[in-house]
Amino acid sequence: MNKEIKFSLVYRDMWQSAGKYMPRVDQLLRIAPEIVKMGCFARVETNGGGFEQINLLFGENPNVAVREWCRPFNEAGIQTHMLDRSLNGLRMSPVPADVRKLFYKVKKAQGTDITRCFCGLNDPRNIIASIKYAKEAGMIAQATLSITVSQVHNLKYYCDLADQLIDGGADEICLKDMAGIGRPATLGKIVKHIKTKNPDILIQYHGQTGPGFTPASILEVCRNGCDIIDVGMEPLSWGTGHADVIMVREMLIDAGFKVPEIDMAAYMRARALTQEFIDDFLGYFIPESNRRLQSLLIASGLPGGMMGSLMNDLKDNLSSVNKSLVKKGESEITIDELLIKLFDEVAYVWPRVGYPPLVTPFSQYVKNLAMFNLMQLTKGKERWTMIADNIWDMILGKAGKLPGDVDPVIKKIAKEQGREFYEGDPQALYPDKLEEFRKEMADKGWDVGQDEEELFELAMHPEQYRTYKSGKAKADFEAELAQAKAKAGKSNEGAALKVEPQTIEVEVNGERFLVNIVGNDGSVASSETPKQAAPAGKTEEVIAPLEGKFYLTNNSTETPKKVGDVVAKGDLLCYIESMKTYNAISSDKAGKIVEIAYANGDSVQEDDVLFKLQ
């Protein structure tokens, strides 16, 4: 046989699949030389969805991080690649075409060689546009098949999609088995189809290991012509992550393939550094369950890349669900019981919203909708009574064509709410915005940056970038880390220490911020931030239906509500960002706003008072 198989280290995705955060740039620069010295990687994943938002949450400049992280591999002749979400760029929501075009120019200038373009709906219109923009910027365009298993996602579906993407100009094809539920034999047949028709097209396989199919899948795709395998390495391989390079190499050697040698001394140093980063702070945000294989994931089809954030979110969801159960006089449930309920509800929701492939952002949308249904059912309400606007956009076709049909019950709700289904090109719904962001930067005296990379960052992640520039992002992160460390602390007797709610003062770049730390019983300290008191007289309260981050607007086209505004019942007041979606909060009564209790980016708990009306 003696076919050569190359390896790509998905170091970014290793962290995203494990937990909430990723290493800082100083940590990345320490490990990069050891990854190079390992000598077994033809490619390293250096960027992608989530990476830059994490930098912003740290209070770290993402453009500096990408340039510095790519440089060692560029100098060593190792190709760098990134993951992009086509219509959504690097975020959860659609991006204007002019911002998408700038995206690829910036990433190429920063040192990224290859972009892996995928659409969460496998809509070729979204992917082919990204192929065009990437190639115009001088990047290698790797188009992606987002693999899932359903009555509509069969062998013919994926073979036809691959043909369309290659005809659309793709340089390479990636089989993105994001949940690791692709059946090995079928994956092999997809690869064989592509290689038979296009023998010179390079094929890369990416498979999460969570359900356990991945080693068999790797062997099967290699036997049918795959060229590059994405791998992880200890201590972040397996579980919801990726197969370890050592195991993959030995398996392929036994099968007769030619594979590169591994410098084991460098491997051990890289392994030790990764463990050091976990011990430093990243481990506080890695749930232990994400380190294990879970065959339960086969039924739900949820991807490994979201399991890190899912298990962190689930702790907050559990508190909310149990609060409702206690109010009804029912027994509380455990996090494992909630996880099973969630998996069952995902299986119920998924076909009814048209079988979107369970990959970012649509895996989050389906999971969130399932969780919202569970929370509403726990409160004695009906399913589908809490659907975020971006989830509606998916259902209505505004993000691309769904593979399956939407359930008649949901269609009826859409009609009742005056929502219309859309069949046109999704990009047409999101007009160019770059000049508006350029004007904002000029008005604020912000530098657009080398190769306009700072302009791009504002345009791609407006709210996160503004919070980063203000210094509040860093202050919030430091407070969150302090809280995580406190929760993990143990007394001499081994019992968990009680974390009291408190408000702390954090200084960032000479500016002081007051940040609330939530107690481990969910309680919140009285804010020391002065608020405008409501005038005397009877007031009506608008309360938060879930926990998350408070925002008055979701994008630059919206005008934030202010004290003194008069609102009607049903008017949009704000958003709560929870589980990576912006949930619109509307007024359930009419009146004049006399108090807004929170500022943009503040954390709120379920049942907190958001607005007072008179």
Tokens linked to 207: 């498979």
- State the pLDDT at residue 526: 44
220/529 Cα distance (integer angstroms): 59
Element (H or E) spanning 107, and its range? helix 97-110
Element (H or E) spanning 551, and its range? strand 548-551
Tokens linked to 329: 């006089």
pLDDT tens for 321-354 read 788 888 888 888 887 888 888 888 888 999 999 9
Tokens linked to 204: 């890369």
Report whether 423 contacts 398 (CB < 8 A). no
Report whether 573 contacts 586 (CB < 8 A). yes
Name residue 374's amino acid.
L
pLDDT tens for 118-147 read 998 999 999 999 999 999 999 999 999 999
Q: How far is CA 28 from CA 24, 68, 79, 89, 143, in A?
A: 6, 9, 16, 23, 27
Sign, CA dihedral 577-579-583-588, equals negative
Element (H or E) spanning 46, and its range? strand 41-48
398/390 Cα distance (integer angstroms): 9
Name residue 99's amino acid.
V
Instruction: Domains for the chain: give ranges and CATH numbers.
Output: 6-284 (3.20.20.70), 297-429 (no CATH), 471-527 (no CATH), 540-613 (2.40.50.100)
For the chain, list residues with pLDDT below 70: 1, 295-313, 315-316, 490-537, 556-557, 579-580
Phi, psi of 90, rounded to the nearest 5 degrees:
-110, 15
Tokens linked to 119: 């659409």
What number of other Cβ atoms are within 10 A of residue 239's Cβ?
Answer: 24
Report whether 130 contacts 86 (CB < 8 A). yes
Tokens 């790519």 — which residue? Answer: 70
Residues composing the chain: 614
Tokens linked to 277: 């980063």
Q: Is the pTM of this model over 0.85?
A: no
Q: How far is CA 10 from CA 63, 233, 243, 283, in A?
A: 19, 9, 11, 18
- State the pLDDT at residue 524: 47
The DSSP output letter for 244 is B
Report whether 22 contacts 15 (CB < 8 A). yes
170/127 Cα distance (integer angstroms): 9
- State the pLDDT at residue 307: 54
Report whether 161 contacts 170 (CB < 8 A). no
Phi, psi of 479, rounded to the nearest 5 degrees:
-70, -40
The DSSP output letter for 604 is E
What number of other Cβ atoms are within 10 A of residue 407's Cβ?
Answer: 16
- State the pLDDT at residue 266: 97
